[in-house]
């Protein structure tokens, strides 16, 4: 990657944030731009920083992890959210997606794997493991009500093509190359998808695609 990924960390474990920040800053294409020890501190200061990826603890002492997710849902911040939690459970995956999370990981993840996830989330918008996809199939396909105000019939064939490619973790450039259209045209179609479906990010588009049976959870691309 040529670009530097700007990362914020929110966790009430100060030693953990220091070590994680140091590890991130050792990478050639990453930089820690902000650290907070609770969610309210982040929300109060988020507009002061350019943040590409937010690494967020789910359950802090003041319970502000969910608060952050809900607050960010109400605002149009252009950032990806990785929830890194000791309380990781695959059964929470559906809820995390609904809250706009791009990746949900256990806190004991290996450092090199975390770096790979950060790069994938930054480039492609989301990261899922095989185990998470299996859970999503159950949680999103069957138990979650389908969107009723914005049906799949309202999407054009081109928008449906692009939605499927987004679910396969294709970048804007890759989609353009596959469909022989410009990246700007891809972004225009993606904007229309967000407007038509009423969601705010790529994770929301994936939920929409699964709930409306445009894709099946096991069709989502897995990374090696």
Q: Give the pLDDT score at 152.
A: 54
Q: How many residues does the chain have?
A: 224
Could you tell me the end-to-end alpha-carbon distance of the chain, in angstroms, rounded to an integer?
19
Q: What is the pTM of this model?
A: 0.70
CA atoms within 13 A on the CB side of 194: 11
Domain 5-127 carries which CATH code?
A: 3.40.50.2300
Domains of the chain by residue range: 5-127, 137-219
Q: Is 211 left (phi over 0), alpha (psi -120 to 50) or beta?
A: alpha
Q: What is the dihedral of CA 17, 19, 20, 21, to 10 degrees?
A: 80
Superfamily of the domain at 137-219: Response regulator (3.40.50.2300)
pLDDT of 145-185, one tens digit each? Answer: 443 444 555 889 999 999 999 888 788 889 999 999 998 99
> CA 122, CA 116: separation in Å to the nearest integer?
10
Of the listed ranges 48-62, 127-141, 194-208, the least confidently predicted one is 127-141
């Amino acid at each position: 990657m040529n670009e530097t990924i700007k990362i914020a960390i929110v966790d009430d474990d100060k030693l953990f944030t220091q070590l994680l920040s140091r590890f991130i800053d050792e990478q050639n294409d990453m930089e820690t731009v902000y650290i907070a020890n609770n969610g309210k501190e982040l929300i109060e200061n988020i507009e002061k920083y350019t943040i590409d990826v937010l690494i967020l603890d789910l359950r802090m002492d003041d319970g502000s992890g969910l608060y952050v997710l809900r607050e960010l849902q109400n605002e149009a911040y252009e950032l990806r959210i990785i929830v890194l939690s000791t309380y990781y459970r695959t059964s929470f995956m559906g809820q995390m997606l609904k809250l706009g999370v791009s990746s949900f990981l256990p806190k004991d993840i290996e450092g090199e794997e975390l770096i790979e996830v950060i790069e994938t989330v930054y480039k492609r918008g989301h990261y899922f493991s095989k185990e998470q996809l299996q859970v999503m199939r159950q949680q999103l396909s069957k138990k979650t009500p389908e969107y009723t105000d914005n049906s799949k019939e309202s999407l054009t064939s081109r928008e449906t093509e692009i939605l499927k490619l987004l679910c396969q973790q294709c970048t804007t450039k890759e989609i353009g190359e596959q469909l022989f259209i410009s990246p700007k045209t891809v972004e225009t179609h993606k904007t229309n998808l967000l407007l038509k479906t009423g969601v705010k990010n790529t994770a929301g588009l994936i939920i929409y695609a699964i709930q409306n049976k445009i894709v099946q959870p096991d069709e989502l691309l897995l990374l090696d």
